[in-house]
Structure 1
Amino acid sequence: MSDRQMKLVNLNIGLPKKMTYNENKEIVTGICKKSVDEAYLSYDGFQGDGIADTRYHGGPDRAVCVYADEHYEQWEKEFNIKLPSAAFGENLTVRNMLESDICIGDIYQIGEAVVQISQGRIPCSTITKRIGVPKLLKRIVEEGYTGYLCRVLEEGTIHKNATIKLIKPHPNEISILFANEIYFHRRDDVKGIQKILAVQELADAWRKDLSERLAKLI
């Protein structure tokens, strides 16, 4: 974990709505969130927030989506673009909380609420549709800069200037970056999969997927 202070840069919520892409196509998505001054975080997610595709988003293990502010700088420079706030549909835009620093099972206090890291985010094509840069999604997966998801252990209000504190690091120290490397790139790495599955706090969706993958390998 970095010694630099963790910081909440933006607090973002929004309900699903129509989004136009490629000039005349439309989808209903919850990716277009707005920055707010405060929001109440329940076990199901932020009040006033919502998702459109419940197959891949939402649920207790995926109540909060987090993305690192540092990646905005990289993508803007690499693709010569200016990204909007909450460009990746995240609830919390944070600094000094990179995928390499954050481990599955870590517990954080953010304002009044307490959350636990449950899995890496699996980015989808909606990001491409919103940003309009086709190669961005591929680069996100290549780098492992996907962001990550949390479950809520204690409900409470989060203000935009809320402090973030690591309450309990997970002893296994399986970082989101490592998990992403195994999940996306080293798909046949039996030992790597076993390390991730050894974290009891891993989200059910990832546990099911990785368990099925492991069963075919051994």
Structure 2
Amino acid sequence: MNVALKAISIGDVKSLKQNDKIVSSAIQKSTIASANVTLLGLEGDAQADLKNHGGPDKAICAYFFDHYSFWEEKLDKSLSFSAFGENVTLQGTTEKEIRIGDIFKVNDVLMQVSQPRQPCFKLGLKHGQPQMPVWVRETGYTGFYFRVLQEGTFTMDHSFERVETNPTYPTLAQANELMYSAHPNKEAIKEIIEINELSESWKKQFKKRLNK
């Protein structure tokens, strides 16, 4: 599988207005032509909430350009790249084809899929639509996170090549279904918890689901 790279984006921490409050976020990003990639993400990219964003398991946020037309119709507006605060905007596949643990090579960089993205209220602030995080979960159009296995650089001239996949592992869409279903398959949850490549934060959340 080769996936086209549509945009690379990074951002600084800025202020967003939430009613009468001001919150900090780096969800507003600008496109760049090339990326220096470290174990913690793209050089020059920032996170305001280090508890819920960033870290080795969530080093790089990816979203699918294939979903942009749906959201443009839903929101009744045009969307520019990094509309979902993603670092890389990809085209040619979706959550239904990519699996937990998949490894992608981009030039000399190796990245591994660690978990689906869980949108927070700041995505709603970015688009002026409080329901946006709920809509993202309901559609399953979540995007996902990479962990970095090998540092390096890539540019807009490079594509994402999947070099390793385990067909027994769940797709991102299946992982989302397990996380958000009102009646989850508990045996499937027990199985996904045992996947080493799944992020620690998702393992903790799945364990909580089992105990409900």
TM beyond 0.5: yes
Pick from 169, 172, 179: which aligns with 1:176? 172
1:20/1:111 Cα in 2 relative to 1: closer, same or farther (>3 Å)? farther
Separation in 2, partners of 1:36, 1:91: 10
Deviation larger for 177-186 or 36-45: 177-186
Q: Is the 8 A contact 2:111 2:147 kept in 1?
A: yes
Structure 1 match to 2:117: 121
The residue that corresponds to 2:5 in the other structure is 8
**8 Å Cα contact 1:65-1:147 kept in structure 2:** yes
Q: Secondary structure at the match of 1:8?
A: strand
Q: What SS does the corresponding residue of 2:162 show, helix, strand or coil? A: strand
Cα RMSD between the aligned structures?
Answer: 1.6
Normalization by structure 2: what TM-score?
A: 0.93
**1:153 matched to 2:149:** yes
**Which structure 1 segments of 5+ residues have no match?**
none
How far did residue 25 of structure 1 move? 4.5
| Sequence identity percentage | 33
The separation in 2 between residues aligned to 1:11 and 1:74, in whole angstroms, is 21
- Does residue 74 (structure 1) correspond to residue 70 (structure 2)? The answer is yes
Q: Is the Cα contact below 8 Å between 1:14 and 1:50 reproduced in 2?
A: yes
Q: Give me the TM-score of the superposition, normalised by structure 1.
A: 0.91
How does 1:1-218 map onto structure 2 within 5 Å? Answer: 5-20=2-17, 25-186=21-182, 188-214=184-210, 216=211
User: Residues 76-108 of structure 1: CA distance to partner in whole angstroms, max 9, x if unpaired?
Assistant: 012211223211110000012311111000000
How many residues matched? 212
* Partners of 1:83 and 1:131 within 8 A in 2: no
SS at match of 2:74: helix
Shift of 1:173: 3.0
C-alpha distance in 1 between matches for 2:182 and 2:170 = 15
